[in-house]
Structure 1
Amino acid sequence: MIKSNFNGERLRTARLYRNYTITSIAEELGITKQMISKYENDKTVPSSEMLLRLESILNFPRNYFFENDNENIKIGNTYFRSLASTSKKDQEVQNIKLVYISKIYRCIAEYINFPKLNLPELSEVILEDPEKASLEIREYWKLGNNPITNMVRLLESNGIIVSTNKTNISSIDAFTQKQEFDGEDFYFVVLGQDKGNAFRRQFDAAHELAHILLHDPFLNLNEVDKDENREMEKQANEFAAALLLPKEEFIRDASMHPADLNHYLYLKKKWNVSVSAMTVRAYNLDLISYNQYHYLQRQISQRKWRKEEPYDREVAPSSPILLKKATLMLLENKKLSGPELLDKLSTKYNLTINSEEFEDLIGIDRGTLLKYRKDQSAVIIDFKK
């Protein structure tokens, strides 16, 4: 049932989500920017004809524009890779996606037992030392000094909600956000799937774990200057490298031929880390000198490995499975049909979206929800005698 009051904020979020500016959506609709502004600020309500056009252009069901986000949720800041070069608009678009994913997760969690959040509490001393923090989490998760074959699965198995989507924004590789609801903490990590590189995804996932463990989830990032932000990114990179390449084991491996790119290429298959990241780690561990490090960097450039290294195309990037698997469990076990799941999301969580949007957000094939409709075969008809 359509709610009675048009919500201008929902028009604004839909516009941003579909990458429209006020100017471009006004031109598409053939109206003024001032009229769009009035709609979005609840100064006037679109006519029925205008609503139809908004639905068509923005590809959101009509109900979406009449819903309110009135849930009692505390949302932390969002840590973006390359925050300084990511515009406020691009940040907001990705935050909207996180709100949608969060609602979908909570809707599904009514029926499915997801892994509980399993993170250590780190002391102040360890929080300031990425190397020590990486050892702490390896010990807490009982990883030993072995290579981590799948960072995405490791995060999911320890209660972190992971999703992928096409950010279509060159400055955003991944981002993380904390949310508090129903007295519990939840961490959401979104990994961009634009790059399609398994080794980069490993590092991105480890980098986002660093933000979860090391950095204040409710820090006001608007008050953080460029130097502080640069230092947080440096810490996250150091943590990711230390986690994926544990000091003692990596020194033992790399010290055989520390200034030979081909040796790092051999180690790439073992540690699931790019050659570029391993050379940085080797330099930071004093395995190679400043001159040797820059010589290796020049070689990487000469071999055109900046964008793509050997083996990059041979290994598919790992994808999150929990949201996808949980949804399929609901559908296949007939706990809910596809339309019923969308209806529950709409009526209880105030998020009316089409089936394709839902499927794209959690990474299942398009058409899946509508394939699982209620079975109508139990209705029996026959000719009159």
Structure 2
Amino acid sequence: MKKDLFNGKRLKIARVYRGKTVDILAKETNINKKDILAFEDNKYKPTLENALKLSNILHFPREYFYDNENIKVVVEDSHFNPNSTLPRMEEISYKEKLIMLRKLFLFFEEYIGFPQLDLPNNLHRGDSMEVLSQKIREHWDLWDDEKPTPLNLGDIMTAKGVIISYMNVNRRGASPFTQKQSVEKDIKYVIALGEDKNVAPIRNHDLACELGYIVSDILNIPLKKFDCEEFADEFLLPKQAFLNSLQDTNEIEDFVKLKARWAVPVSLLVYRAYSLGVISYKKYNYLLNDWQQRGWNKSEPLDDKFKLTDSSLLKMAYEALIENHIVSNATLIDKLHNQGITLYPEDLEILMDLKPNTLQTKNNKNNVKKVDFKRKRA
């Protein structure tokens, strides 16, 4: 490693990854702001002392800053939840984290066959939200009008080729974020879930909204002309099946019973009933006021009955490679480093949805094998 090989672009990536502005990093490292900007632009190189300061504060291995980018992930588009309360820099940090996530997928694809994006090819710009959602439900074989099926949309979308990250599900204030990425024209949609605390009704609604964004992008419809919330309502609560379930539904407790069947928030059930003309605007407001007075805007009934134990594909891929003796923790980290993915184990554990301290370093070597990983998740 030579000092003059410092990669300033990687310094900027690491800074954004940690959600830090140049001003904050300058203050924390006691390095002049102009110098940091010059380092990032590769105008000149930091001293060894400054390089170590930057490495320590940003918590990236020093080697990271001396590697070149050998995997180019292009961000084609992004969708931030408009109701997000996170600081802007923290939202921007999602960009680099999801890029790193895609790089991990590219590494595991050398061993694993992941599902490809599977959406119907008969979606059209002129379709109504009801028709769009119906086409996708039929293509994915999710419901019929007589027997609606409560769903775990995370598992379904994963099996249909959407990459889902669970790194923020317990992070206070985190909102869903979707990124459209391309690697040599191979398009993937990557979703970072928000703070849903592994509760299925919340996750189902969030993912249905993000699916709406994916549909709008595929159809090249600007989001100002495509209501992702409306799409989510239509997708999660198909009209006829939902109307059939609304008999004798008058009070908020009746909608709790519906929640047990549909696995979506009570508030969404109430709104859907209103939007379909089943209840009046006055009744809708009455029910929502009742919902809020009971404190259900913070935690709804049955949430504890809908707890999920989803695992990311990366976690499953890691476990498959370990169980089949294809890699050890030590050789995995070495192989990732050779691919330009140089992170501390704790960051890899977060990205891969592993428990803390999972990645232990042992020096066993294994032969490379190929594992098929295209099975649908239950």
Counterpart of 1:323? 314
One-letter code aligned to 2:356: R
2:196 and 2:202 in contact (8 A); partners too:
no
Find the counterpart in structure 2 of residue 266 from structure 1. 257
Q: Is the contact made by 1:176 and 1:208 (CA closer than 8 Å) also made in structure 2?
A: yes
TM-score by length of structure 1 reads 0.86
Contact conserved, 1:206 with 1:240, CA < 8 A, in 2? yes
What SS does the aligned partner of 1:277 have?
A: helix
Shift of 1:74: 3.9
* Aligned position for 2:228: 236
Q: Which residue is equivalent to 1:37?
A: 37
C-alpha offsets along residues 57-102 of structure 1, whole Å, 9 cap, x if unaligned?
2111112112333545443111111178776533421110110000
Q: Quick check: 1:255 aligned with 2:263?
A: no
Structure 1 counterpart SS, 2:181: strand
Give yes or no for contact 1:117–1:186 (8 Å, CA) kept in 2. yes
- The aligned amino acid for 1:358 is L
1:27-78: CA deviations, max 9, x gaps?
A: 2222322222222222221111222222222111112112333545443111
Aligned to 1:366: 356
- 1:206 and 1:289, CA in 2 relative to 1: closer, same or farther beyond 3 A? same
**Counterpart for residue 300 of structure 1:** 291
Residue aligned with 2:193, SS: strand
Give yes or no for contact 1:131–1:242 (8 Å, CA) kept in 2: yes
Tell me if structure 2 keeps the 8 A contact 1:255–1:287.
no
- Percent identity of the aligned residues? 34
TM-fit CA distance, 1:267:
1.0
1:340-375: CA deviation from partner (whole Å, max 9, x where unpaired) = 222222222x22111111111110112222266517
Over residues 207-226 of structure 1, what are the superposed CA-to-partner deviations in whole Å (9 max), with x where a residue is unaligned?
A: 1111112235888xxxx7xx
**Which amino acid letter does the alignment assign opposite residue 248 of structure 2?**
M
Superposition RMSD in Å: 2.5
User: Would the aligned equivalents of 2:26 and 2:32 in 1 still touch at CA under 8 Å?
Assistant: yes
Distance (Å, rounded) in 2 between the aligned partners of 1:218 and 1:60: 38
Query: What secondary structure does 2:107 align onto?
Result: helix
CA contact (8 A) 2:130 2:231 kept: yes
What amino acid maps onto 2:338 in structure 1? T
Which residue type is aligned with residue 216 of structure 2? L
Flag structure 2 segments of 5+ consecutive residues without an equivalent. 367-378
Q: Which residue of 2 aligns with 1:354?
A: 344
CA distance in 2, matches of 1:317, 1:250: 24
Q: Match of 2:302?
A: 311
Measured in 1, the distance between the counterparts of 2:30 and 2:361 equals 38
Change (3 A) 1:90 1:169: farther
**Contact 2:77–2:181 (Cα < 8 Å) also in 1:** no
1:19 alignment counterpart:
19
Amino acid of the structure 1 residue aligned with 2:213:
H
Aligned partners of 1:147 and 1:272 also within 8 Å: no
- The match for 2:200 is 198
Q: 1:175 and 1:207 mapped to 2: Cα distance?
A: 10
| Amino acid in the other structure paired with 1:265 | V
Matched, 1:277 2:268: yes
How many Å apart are 1:243 and its aligned residue? 1.5
What amino acid is the match of 1:315? F
AA at the equivalent of 2:162: I
1:139 has 2:131 as partner: no
Q: Aligned in 2, Cα 1:22/1:218: closer, same or farther, shift over 3 Å?
A: farther
CA offset at residue 3 of structure 1? 8.6
- Counterparts of 1:74-93 in structure 2, within 5 Å, are 74-82=74-82, 89-93=89-93
Letter in 2 for 1:51: A
Q: 1:315 to 1:57 in 2, by over 3 A?
A: same
Q: Aligned-pair distance for 1:337? A: 1.9
User: Retained in 1: the 8 A contact 2:349–2:355?
Assistant: yes
Report Cα offsets for 1:75-130 as digits up to 9, x if no partner.
Answer: 3111111178776533421110110000000100110111222111212222xx22
Which whole-Å CA distance do the structure 2 matches of 1:3 and 1:322 have between them? Answer: 38
| Paired position in structure 2 for 1:156 | 158
**Match for 1:326: what amino acid?**
A
**Which residue identity does 1:286 align to in structure 2?**
G
1:303-355 deviation per Cα after TM superposition (whole angstroms, max 9, x unaligned): 1111111122333245343211111111221212222222222222x221111
Residues 194 and 210 of structure 1, relative CA distance in 2, 3 Å threshold? closer
How many residue pairs get aligned? The number is 361
Q: 2-side partners of 1:207 and 1:359: how far apart?
A: 27
* CA distance, structure 1, for counterparts of residue 346 and residue 215 of structure 2: 34
Decide whether the 8 Å contact of 1:3 with 1:67 is kept in 2.
Answer: no
Q: Hey, what does 2:277 align to over in structure 1? A: 286
8 A contact 1:131–1:239 mirrored in 2: yes
* Structure-1 separation of matches of 2:231 and 2:243: 16
